[in-house]
Structure 1
Amino acid sequence: MKKTVTLLVLISMLFSTVFLFTGCGDSSVKEIKTADDIKGASVGVQTGTTGDTFVSDYEADGTKVMRYSKGADAIVALTQNKIDCVVIDSEPAKEFVKANAGLKILDEPFAEEQYAICISKENHELTEKIDKALAELKDEGVLDKIKSYYIEGNTDTVPYESPKDIKYDGELHMATNAAFPPYEYVEGGEIVGLDPMMATAICDKLGKKLVIDDMEFDSVITAVQTGKDDFGMAGMTDTPERRKNIDFSTSYANTTQVIIVNDSASGSLFGNLGESFKNTFITDNRWQQLLSGLLVTLEITLFAGIIGVIIGFVIALVRATHDIQLGKRKCRSFGDCVLKFFNVICNIYITVIRGTPVVVQLMIMYYIILASVRNGIFAAIIAFGMNSAAYVAEIVRSGIMAVDIGQTEASRSLGFNNRQTMTMVVLPQAIKNVLPALGNEIITLLKETSVAGYVALADITYIGNMIRSRTYEAFFPLITVALIYLVIVLVLSYILRRFERRLKKSER
């Protein structure tokens, strides 16, 4: 245990030394004073936003567009002089500038736009109902009060609260990206902001309970298209390009795209370490959010690992039995043909799974194969389990084939049939041989679950990124997540070594 603690301390010191003595970014920064100056500059945008669309038109002029999954990530890059400016919506820009000394917004607007609610093209009835509810909220002045509360800062009274006697008839799921203040953000573990409050008012009008699903911005439209969510609100602009794939409600807000630039030299990478620590762990009880993210990661890893081992063993037995009994010879019976057929299926499965990235498999499982299933954890468990099964199968098969053929012949001479030979003689020896590789596969599976955030799952990596987007500080959130993974891997490795030693003792 002392060795583990010492190792963690040394690694932390190494990270700190590297960050402290490494420059924060490229010192050759282009000065941006007007919108025309972004030609040839390095511009940060949030992926999939209208800012991304508008700035992309400048790429032909030599502009380098740096796309980030969150606007806050682009802001951090700007404070470290990694980019020259950021193009983003005006209201979030004000929040970013307020939270980051040394940044300013140029007076000249970059573009104008209107926000609306996105709904599936196949759900015209819901579109009509939302438009009607929006019109009523505008006439009642509720929409103006909500805007005044979040945008103008008139926080004397809460502009809207659900009636206490309301009875809900079902749910409506809303897709959003809760890293876009003041429209949607996380506070006290809750997703709040202009959009969530207005969505609550709309759902109350429709007699439905609002359920909010947080995800990356560029996943919002996909979630609505596939039916994972009923509608999307994420400061989303109604554009002709988006209308090709999705419907929009009437507009509920007018806004502009603005340019954020550095107003002074970049400060320390860490700023105040004490304040950074407090913001990362203490404020809004963010340590509890990290703990909940860790539990999600462990849950996915545990159940996906069980699925992977079970399916992997079945595939390995099919392939190994085929290779041992048939090899390359042709079918001589119906049983031989069935075995060859399943062997071909297993080969195709392994080739496809091992030949495609796990993150793509995860999104295919979530948005296509299990499109009607809203439980993201279930979809992730299936996706990661199926992925792990392909690797487990090859590990176990190699262990089976490594057992000396004389063992099989000896068991046959003793009167064992094929099944008894495999289960009582070959498999026990094979498992001992492949145990280290199986342990490494479980460790790999644990680390692969870090992409679960692509389907809106709040695992430990996703929570770390969310905290980073709220604090605008990368050190503590990222290092904490890295150390958590490291500790889990060290524990798993220790357990595996103990188990291996026990197996070796049993051999004696």
Structure 2
Amino acid sequence: MGKNKMGSLLATLLVFFTMAFGMTGKASADDNSLQKIKEAGVLKVATSPDYPPFESQTTINGQSQDVGLDIEVAKQIAKDLGVKLKIMNMDFGSVLVAIQTGKADMAIAGLTPTDERRQSVDFSKVYYTGGQTFLINKKDVKKFKTAKNLHGQKIATQTGSLQNSLAKKYFDDSTLSSMDKTPDLIFSLENQKVDAVGIEKPVAQAYVAHNKNLAMIDAGYPNDAAESGKAIAVSKGSTALVNAMNQSIDKIEQHHWTNKYLKEAGKYVDDNAADTSMMRYWHYFYNGFLNTTLIAVIAVVFGILLGVLLVLMKLSAWKLLAWPATAYIEIVRGTPMMVQVLLVYFGLGALINMPALVAGIIAVALNSGAYVAEIIRGGINSLDKGQKEAAQSLGFSKVDTMRFVILPQAFKNIWPSLGNEFVSVIKESSIVSIIGVTDLIYQLNVVRADTYRGVAPIVVVMVIYFLMTFSLTRLLNHFERKMNHE
């Protein structure tokens, strides 16, 4: 598929650890995959709605809905099983982890059943076979009449995609580059940073249909049909579910519904492209703003409470308290937040079923707590030791000294640093989009995919982030001035 697999390595590591701790389901001969779905009455499907016409979002009756070829296939499978369909949107790098950790029953996201992926998941039969193409600028049609003319040129593909692997294999004499998102590739092509973009045929057709400056040429890869087939992924050992999905796919092929689904998906693509003004998508950005604000506020509040607890433990004379606090702080500060978010959602989520938004808040709060703890520790260490001695000479206990003398003065000194942490949380919380939390970055990617516009949605989100952080900074400065006058 033409989507990035940046999260795939992290996903593999995550699954390894969850398996090590016994948190993943059994891939045994005792297969109850189909029975569990029917008993629950719900088919949970993981997808990444930023790849039209396979999957995208559109506004229907004022509500955002998932549409596309893959969504229609999932609907048919759910209908044949006699259960409700629940779409779980997330970053493409997380869809396979979702089924490996039991968060979803199947993943349908334009997945190509490669040998590498078959090592960790099972696949249905192929339900769609497309082709590989190159997008070029229309003015270069005479220059690049066929793919052979691209040898020695600048070619870009999506990171970790099938197109990336094919370009490395067949165009090793060209200058190859990769990016995470398809809209970024198109933007680079339009600005002549690259000469061609390797992309899947249906996606290329959608771009050409809605961008008069682009054209496409066949990639001419051998065994193209076999390499670009799309299938549905499920957890290892889910034979009963695979058989049921294959029956639905047979029905779809028998009635030639794939072409029908693609035609319907094309209508939604046309509708989205008909009005690409950012005002049309205001509710996307508004919902992203609300979720980003909610995550930041709750994460900072609980982060401060956790930070106070951690610093008290770290400064304690009891090693049984100091060592775990020190270890926690070092581990959290020494690992990427992306890994922490994945671990909370898929690792902890394998034990406790929690929504993506809740998991995102928990992960960001746990991360913030470690940094706040060090900020508070620095504030405490900055105080004159005479403060503690004076309090104790007045008969204050250690607890009262810390509560009424040390911490109030420390917080006054570290207020600017805490403010910076709050601002950082607002920006860094964007990483939760990888598990499907509809924050500003998640909505940004959806709007870019739906409108085929590369820059305008970015500008809108930049302005929103700036207004958020600027307003917060002014508010924090106000309280700082009040504290300095007291």
TM-score, normalized by length of structure 1?
0.62
- Equivalence map 1:74-223=2 (5 Å): 74-107=185-218, 109-110=220-221, 111-112=224-225, 113-139=228-254, 141=255, 144-145=256-257, 147-151=258-262, 153=263, 182=266
The counterpart of 2:290, out of the listed 290, 295, 299, is 295
1:408/1:185 CA distance change after superposition, 3 Å: farther
Of stretches 361-370 and 479-488 in structure 1, the one that deviates more from structure 2 is 361-370
| SS of equivalent residue, structure 1 residue 458 | coil
C-alpha change, 1:34 and 1:445, in structure 2 (3 Å) is same
Question: How high is the sequence identity, in percent, across the aligned residues?
Answer: 31
Q: Which amino acid aligns with 2:246?
A: D
Distance 1:306 1:496, change over 3 A: same
Equivalenced residues, count = 344
Aligned 1:31-70 pairs, distance under 5 A: 31-58=143-170, 61-70=172-181
Q: Is 1:281 equivalent to 2:278 in the alignment?
A: yes
Amino acid at match of 1:90: K
Residue 166 of structure 1: aligned partner = none
Q: Do the aligned partners of 2:184 and 2:454 also contact (CA within 8 Å) in 1?
A: no
* 1-structure distance, mates of 2:142, 2:389: 75
- C-alpha distance after superposition, 1:65-104 (max 9, x if no partner): 3323333332222111111111111111111111111211
Q: 1:453-472 residue pairs with structure 2 within 5 A?
A: 453-472=433-452
Matched, 1:479 2:459: yes
Match for 1:54: what amino acid? L
Q: What whole-Å deviation, never above 9, does each CA across 1:461-486 have from its counterpart, x for those lacking one?
A: 22122222333333321111111111
Is the aligned partner of 1:392 residue 2:372?
Answer: yes
- SS across alignment from 2:176: strand
Q: Counterpart in 1 of 2:330?
A: 351
Letter in 2 for 1:72: P
2:276 is paired with a residue whose SS is: helix
What runs of 5+ residues in structure 1 fail to find an aligned partner? Answer: 1-24, 156-180, 189-274, 323-338
Instruction: Give the match's secondary structure for 2:155.
Output: strand
Map 1:258-407 to 2 at 5 A.
Answer: 279-282=276-279, 285-322=280-317, 339-371=318-350, 373=353, 375-407=355-387
Measure the CA separation in 2 of the matches of 1:186 and 1:374.
Answer: 36
Q: CA RMSD in A?
A: 2.9
* Structure of greater Rg: 1
Instruction: Give 1:309 deviation, angstroms.
Output: 0.9
The amino acid across from 2:162 in the alignment is: T
Q: Deviations over 1:104-130 (max 9, x none)?
A: 111564432322211111322211211
Judge conservation of contact 2:206–2:269 (CA < 8 Å) in 1.
no
Amino acid at match of 1:100: N
Whole-angstrom distance in 2 between the partners of 1:47 and 1:293: 26
Change (3 A) 1:486 1:407: same
Which structure 2 segments of 5+ residues have no match?
1-136
| Deviation readout 1:159-178 (Å, 9 max, x if unpaired) | xxxxxxxxxxxxxxxxxxxx
CA distance in 2, matches of 1:32, 1:412: 82
Aligned pair partner of 2:472 in 477, 486, 492: 492
SS at structure 2 position matched to 1:115 = strand
Give 1:294 shift. 0.9
Aligned-partner Cα distance in 2 for 1:72–1:103: 13
Q: Which has the higher contact order (CA 8 A, sep 6+)?
A: 2
Note if contact 1:32-1:84 (Cα within 8 Å) is conserved in structure 2. Answer: no
The alpha carbon displacement at 1:35 in A equals 2.7
Please list the CA deviations of residues 26-57 of structure 1 after superposition, one character each: whole Å capped at 9, or x if unmatched.
Answer: x9999533333333332222334322221121
Q: Distance in 1 between matches of 2:418 and 2:142?
A: 51
Is the alpha carbon distance of 1:185 and 1:321 closer, same or farther for their aligned partners in structure 2, counting shifts above 3 Å?
Answer: farther
Q: Scaled by the length of structure 2, what TM-score is found?
A: 0.65
Is the Cα–Cα contact under 8 Å of residues 72 and 472 in structure 1 kept in the other structure? yes
